[in-house]
């Protein structure tokens, strides 16, 4: 891992950060040595601001600034050994979390963005996109239509399962799938997670999508751009 420095600033930061007055060298070295810090900002007033991965609660955007602004940002990223990018456009920024996961920055026309799920939402990587998901519990039993409306109220959509990792996260322990296609002449093409009180187990069951009225929660999701 290295620190890649550019003239820039964090645009309208809303995420928690720690700040202190120090030198630029101590500022950048401090972030490099801090396993949780993945981005650091240094302004013309010698103010050093750390952005820690564990505390950011939404996406970040870094915009380019002119050299006379004396504003800098440094990204903790992987870079080829003993080389520096020849230009701003040649920078391929990827933060490697201590757990080994890679989190790439997205290049924009005026800087970079760091996609991050909203607080309380879980990131899952799919073949063609990244999605943020959250399990929402309801106090009353709802239908699929009500579930869709509830998700839309959270600026998301009712989402299905694409990977084994997602399914494992949605439920745990003992599971059960009836695999019945029709019951009582009803098409069963939606999956729900429920509690079987008789056997004290969580169950994954297939039910009719249109009029199943017994769900007490839903899984909402949105695409992470």
Between the CA of residue 3 and those of 32, 75, 90, 113, what are the distances in Å?
A: 7, 5, 15, 17
Measured CA to CA, the distance from residue 37 to residue 104 in angstroms comes to 15
Are 104 and 141 within one domain? Answer: no
**pLDDT in the model for residue 29:** 96
**pLDDT in the model for residue 180:** 44
Give the chain's domain count: 2
**pLDDT in the model for residue 161:** 84
**pLDDT in the model for residue 9:** 95
Range of the domain at 63: 2-114
Are 55 and 90 within one domain? Answer: yes
- Count the alpha carbons within 13 Å of 105 in the hemisphere toward its beta carbon: 24
CATH code of the domain in which 49 resides: 3.50.4.10
**pLDDT in the model for residue 173:** 35
Q: Of 114, 146, 163, which marks where a domain is finished?
A: 114
**pLDDT in the model for residue 170:** 77
Are 82 and 183 within one domain? Answer: no
Between the CA of residue 217 and those of 6, 42, 150, 162, what are the distances in Å?
A: 46, 45, 10, 19
Are 17 and 82 within one domain? Answer: yes
Are 8 and 75 within one domain? Answer: yes
Cα 143 off chain centre by? 28
CATH code of the domain in which 185 resides: 3.10.100.10
Are 175 and 79 within one domain? Answer: no
Q: Of 65, 83, 114, which marks where a domain is finished?
A: 114
**Average pLDDT per block of 10 residues along the chain, 225 residues long:** 92 82 95 95 95 88 94 91 69 88 89 88 88 87 87 93 83 43 52 62 66 78 89
Q: Of 114, 140, 171, which marks where a domain is finished?
A: 114
Are 99 and 57 within one domain? Answer: yes
What is the pTM assigned to this prediction?
0.67
**pLDDT in the model for residue 72:** 97
């Amino acid at each position: 891992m290295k620190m890649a420095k550019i003239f820039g600033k964090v645009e309208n930061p809303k995420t928690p950060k720690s700040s202190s007055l120090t030198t630029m060298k101590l500022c950048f070295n401090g972030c490099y040595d801090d396993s949780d810090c993945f981005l650091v900002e240094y302004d013309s007033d010698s103010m050093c601001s750390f952005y820690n991965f564990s505390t950011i609660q939404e996406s970040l955007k870094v915009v380019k600034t002119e050299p006379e602004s004396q504003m800098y940002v440094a990204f903790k990223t992987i870079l080829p050994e003993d080389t520096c990018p020849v230009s701003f456009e040649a920078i391929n920024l990827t933060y490697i979390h201590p757990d080994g996961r890679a989190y790439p920055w997205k290049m924009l026309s005026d800087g970079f963005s760091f996609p991050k799920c909203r607080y309380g939402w879980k990131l899952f990587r799919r073949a063609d996109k990244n999605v943020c998901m959250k399990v929402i519990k309801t106090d009353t039993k709802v239908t699929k239509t009500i579930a869709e409306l509830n998700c839309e109220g959270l600026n998301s959509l009712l989402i299905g399962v694409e990977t084994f990792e997602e399914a494992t996260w949605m439920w745990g322990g003992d599971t059960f799938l009836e695999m019945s296609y029709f019951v009582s002449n009803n098409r069963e093409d939606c999956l729900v997670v429920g509690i079987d009180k008789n056997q004290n187990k969580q169950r994954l069951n297939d039910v009719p999508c249109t009029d199943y009225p017994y769900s007490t929660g839903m899984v909402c999701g949105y695409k992470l751009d």
